[in-house]
Amino acid sequence: MIAHQGPLVSENLPTVVDKYEQLLPPCKTLMNTSSTAEEVLQAGEKALAIIYGFEGVGLNTARASKFCNKIASAKQYMKPQQLPPTADAAQLHSMRVHHQIQTWKGQKLDPLKWGWTKKINKRGHVILKPLRMMNPPAPEALLNIIKCACEGDCAKHQCSCFRHKLPCTIACKKCKGITCKNNGINNT
């Protein structure tokens, strides 16, 4: 017997076994050699919605809902990585997953049609890099209220605004988008 404090599973969340059963159809689609791009996109979004506990709801709606719930009860800054992915990011991820599975199965798919892009690295070699998103991570009005709580000059990846390629704003805890190097005005 395993001793624990408190319930292992919330009454509202499906158990791991329930999630496993729900994930079987989308996983079969991702593994199917003859799945179309549209089928892969739908299966991937459905799988991620199940994983995040939002089955039957689109990822963008789930993301907005989770954001609003977190902000309404937040006692501290909410990290963007705590949110479900956007539908756009999930679709590209699903395409890369399908491509990788098919590669393992010996299928030759064009990676540029399955969520990858070509880049030239520092040595001048052509490499494949994942396409992360094609659309903004949130509506413009929402992006304007993302904030950091940096102690430094907000010019490194430790700053959540910098890391997400957003300028610091008046909502930022310390710099207020004025005293840092990531304010969109005096960036060099």
Q: How many domains does the chain have?
A: 2
Quick one: tokens of 86?
């956007």
Asked if residue 32 is part of any domain, the answer here is: yes
Q: Same domain for 93 and 151? A: no
The answer to whether the predicted template modeling score (pTM) of the entire model surpasses 0.75 is: no
Q: Same domain for 20 and 99? A: yes
| DSSP strand pairing (116-120 vs 126-130) | antiparallel
Asked if residue 27 is part of any domain, the answer here is: yes
Q: Same domain for 20 and 103? A: yes
Nearest Cα neighbor of 56 from 42, 48, 70, 46 is 46
Of 11-15, 152-156, 158-162, 179-183, give the lowest mean pLDDT range: 11-15
Region 136-161: mean pLDDT is: 76
What is the pLDDT of the chain when averaged over all its residues?
A: 79
Backbone φ and ψ of 143, nearest 5°: -60, -30
Is residue 121 a contact partner of residue 142, using CB atoms and an 8 Å limit? no
Is residue 150 a contact partner of residue 159, using CB atoms and an 8 Å limit? yes
In which domain, by residue range, is 36 found?
16-107
pLDDT surpasses 90 at 110: yes
Asked if residue 25 is part of any domain, the answer here is: yes
Asked if residue 85 is part of any domain, the answer here is: yes
Angle at 32 between CA 31 and CA 33, to 5 degrees: 110
Q: Same domain for 90 and 158? A: no
Q: What pLDDT, in 10s, does the model give residues 154-168?
A: 888 888 888 878 888
Is residue 150 a contact partner of residue 175, using CB atoms and an 8 Å limit? yes
Q: What pLDDT, in 10s, does the model give residues 27-44?
A: 999 999 999 999 999 999
Could you give the 3-state DSSP secondary structure of residue 118? strand
Q: In the chain, which residue ranges form alpha helices assigned H by DSSP?
A: 16-31, 37-51, 59-73, 87-104, 140-143, 160-163
- Count of Cβ atoms closer than 10 Å to residue 84 Cβ: 23
